[in-house]
A and B are shown apart, each in its own frame.
Chain A
Amino acid sequence: MNTIALVGNPNSGKTTLFNALTGSNQHVGNWPGVTVEKKEGVLKFNEKIYNIVDLPGTYSLGAFSEDEIVARDYILKGNPNVVINVVDATNIERNLYLTTQLLEMGAKVVVALNMIDEAKERNIKFDIKALSEKLGAPVIPTVASKRKGIEELIKQSIELIEKDIDFKANISYGENIDKEVEKLKGFLNNKDLEYPSQWIAIKLLEGDKYIYELVNKDENVNSSNEFKNVIHNIKNNTEDYELEIVDKRYEFVSNIADLTVTLPDEAEETITDKIDKVLTHKWLGLPIFALIMLIVFQLTFTVGEDLFGELMGRGIEILSEIIENLLIIINSPSWIISFVTEGIIGGVGAVVEFVPLIVVLYMLMGFLEDSGYMARAAYVMDNIMRALGLQGKTFISMIVGFGCNVPGIMSTRTLENKKDRMIAILINPFMSCGAKLPIYLVFIAAFFPNNGGLVLFFLYLLGIVVALLMGKIFSKTLFKGESSYFIMELPPYRLPTLRNVLRNMWDNVSGFLKRAGTTIFAVVTVLWVLAMLPLGVEPYGQSSILGQIGLFIAPIFRPAGFGTWQAAVGLFSGIAAKEAVIATLGMVYAGVSQGAELVSTIQEVFTPLTAASFMVMTLLYIPCAATIGTIKKETNSYKWAIFTVVYTFAIGWLGAVLVFQIGSLLGFS
């Protein structure tokens, strides 16, 4: 099957184009060996199918980050038949910089000149034919969000697969460098290397460590002393060569752009500028950010819970009754009935009930992300972050963590410096993820039904505050040294497309549902068995194995006010996945109080104060197994994964105890 790869700068519309090409035929995995996300999909066109690979969004194809290495390795070694380079027409020079690198690699490139609608609006004019000639590659104007130009783009790409053209950007890097390149090529030619020799030569001059290692290890190349001398010489002068090369590349791009693009004389104030005056304002920026988050949680709560949540709950109750009756009619043994109604429906059902809420939360977050606001949030937070020894971009990984800690932690790879990255990884678990939401909601419904949005807001806020405090402590103790520089694009505000918002929501919700059907189901099954054994004990009683385990752990939580074995078992199972906390509570309490609603049982066994300390505990304590695994993978060490487990447990416990003890002193109950 022919393969088409997508390459482009961040925010160029690459994801939108990928979705337009593949529709729902896509799946997400990982690139082998690294945690960079790999998206693949299938395009059907004229009865033929093509494999579409979405490469990570990058500004360049150096060895700057894992993303860049993944992208360039794929282009050079994965042998895609065609590379579609998504270019943001409103930002032509920087985007063409990447294009020239693709051409230098000898890839077959089709340029998708995307966002052409916005370019028109800003009065940027293109001579497409000339641009295409200068680059030596087809250029197709597109509006990915409106699916314009897509068909032409596909046609051109497919046409190119058949053709045998030599793609090449012939950039002259000036006499000096060109001479060095030729010299190096003399050593490299015919050496059966993985990459084209011209490209290797340039990369060596650019001081690319990976390529240097590669060449250095290759005995074919490395055998001559002469070569060693040349390399040595280069190493001493890389700094000069490196920047000279980038400069020349830009010159090449600028020359092309000058001849083919007409920019407006004086950019007038855009809507984005006007909005930014308010949203990034010195004093208003932060309060507005807080307000936006408050609105998000209030809406999540009102729409997701009040409007649809109850419907969902009732639906599950009815379903449960129908199934129970069916099972009775067909004369099933009572243990099956118990397993299905108390185990599965009590457990998995308690989780599924919260789907509407998760849907609303992810739609709102997706809306914010797609609108361009997230970058502003990082911007307004940079000052606070800097005062704590962190930096603004760390905050983006934290916000992503609100959805799920796994992508939150993975997104820390945009942080250039190791110290920033380690801290960002270690504090991410405090960001309350979507899976914890059901826990809060049950307790809010039981004790704080009138202030749901506010309670949620404060929980999330507490998560942020604890994360930042820990960040400060880490930067003073474990990871000393300079925080790295801060540089970030502020993309123009755009009205998010419904398609993008829905897709983003579905990606998350389907994960949630999948976990409900797999991990949660497995946990519930194991717990149910443990609750029934040894045979003859009262099911869900203290003397069951489950009860005994709970009783064993429970004393730890006595200072926090919820030292019951049920709570202990719930928290314990939450290490598998956070939804399991509520699934477990649903099961053990549904068992005790025979069909009574979980909420009313909770009202009996908890108090408002212990509910608060329990919520704080679930907010802060040990992250789920998937997150722990990701920490291990990203830090490449078990040490940090174990460290996270231990310290988050300590913090969670401390937080819950403080809430309970101080609350008690103040006379709350």
Chain B
Amino acid sequence: MADISLIQLNSGEQGKVKKICAGGCATKRLYEMGFNTGAKVKVVKNDAGPIIVSLSGNKIALGRGLAQKIIIGN
């Protein structure tokens, strides 16, 4: 699987965080909220509005702009 951004995953799909390409501050916050490299994320909902992902069973809502900057690999 080529690298794609989190926003391109559909509800129910999952992957691992490969890289985050946001500004320093946002990147750090994402890391601290659990989006560290290698973290398994599963998209719970991705239609209108912020996307909801599950990080080991815990749900986090992310703005679409931010989700775009999370690169998913496998």
Contact = CB atoms under 8 A, between A and B. Distances in A.
A243 B31 CA distance: 8
Contact of B36 (A64, A242, A246, A267): A246
Interface in B1-30: 22, 24-30
Contact of B57 (A267, A379, A488): A267
Contacts of B29: 59, 64, 416, 487
- The B interface is mostly helix, strand or loop, or mixed, namely mixed
A239 interface: yes
Interface residues of A, number: 45
A282 B49 contact: yes
Interface string A246-273: 1100100010000000010001001011
A489 B48 contact: no
A427 to B, nearest CB: 20
Interface in B33-48: 33-34, 36-39, 44-45, 47-48
B64 to A, nearest CB: 9
Contacts of A92: 56
A486 B53 CA distance: 13
Nearest to A272: B59
Given A263-B56, A267-B57, A280-B52, A246 B63 contact: no
A62 B31 CA distance: 13
A270 B52 CA distance: 15
B45 A280 contact: yes
A486 B54 contact: no
Contacts of A59: 29, 32-33
Interface residues of B, number: 35
A90 B56 CA distance: 8
A104 interface: no
A391 to B, nearest CB: 7
Contacts of B59: 272, 276, 489-492
Contacts of A122: 57
B12 to A, nearest CB: 11
Nearest to A122: B57
A379 B61 contact: yes
A486 B63 contact: yes
A90 B32 contact: no
B47 A94 contact: no
A489 B62 CA distance: 9
Contacts of B48: 282, 383
A485 B31 contact: no
Contacts of B66: 485-487
B34 A94 contact: yes
B28 A243 contact: yes
A473 B51 CA distance: 27
A382 B63 contact: yes
A380 interface: yes
Nearest to A379: B61
Interface string A168-212: 000000000000000000000000000000000000000100000
Contact of A485 (B28, B44, B65): B65
A376 B33 CA distance: 18
A301 interface: no
Contact of A379 (B31, B38, B39, B49): B49
B50 interface: yes
Contacts of B60: 487-490
A389 interface: no
Contact of A487 (B38, B47, B62): B62
B56 A391 contact: no
Nearest to B31: A246
- Residue picked from B29, B44, B50, B63, most chain A C-beta under 10 Å: B50
A282 B46 CA distance: 10
Contact of B49 (A267, A273, A383): A383
Interface string A459-497: 000000000000000000000000001111111100000
A90 B58 CA distance: 8
Contacts of A64: 25, 28-29, 32
A2 interface: no
Contacts of B34: 91, 93-94
A439 B25 CA distance: 45
A490 B39 CA distance: 18
Contact of B61 (A254, A282, A416, A488): A488
A392 interface: yes
A392 B50 CA distance: 9
Given A282-B47, A282-B49, A90 B57 contact: yes
Interface string A269-294: 01011001000101000000000000
Contacts of B58: 90-91, 94, 489, 492
Contacts of B28: 62, 64, 242-243, 246
Contacts of A272: 59
Interface string A486-512: 111111100000000000000000000
A487 B25 contact: no
A97 interface: yes
B57 A485 contact: no
A485 B33 contact: no
Nearest to B20: A243
A478 B45 CA distance: 35
Nearest to B49: A383
A181 to B, nearest CB: 19
3 nearest A-B pairs in the assembled complex, by CB-CB distance: A486-B63, A490-B59, A250-B36
Given A91-B56, A485-B62, A485-B63, 17 more contacts: A64-B25, A64-B29, A90-B58, A91-B57, A97-B32, A243-B27, A250-B31, A276-B45, A375-B61, A382-B50, A383-B49, A386-B63, A392-B61, A485-B65, A486-B62, A487-B66, A489-B33
18 contacts: A62-B28, A64-B29, A93-B56, A94-B33, A247-B36, A276-B52, A375-B61, A379-B50, A383-B49, A392-B61, A486-B50, A487-B30, A487-B61, A488-B61, A489-B60, A490-B52, A491-B59, A492-B59
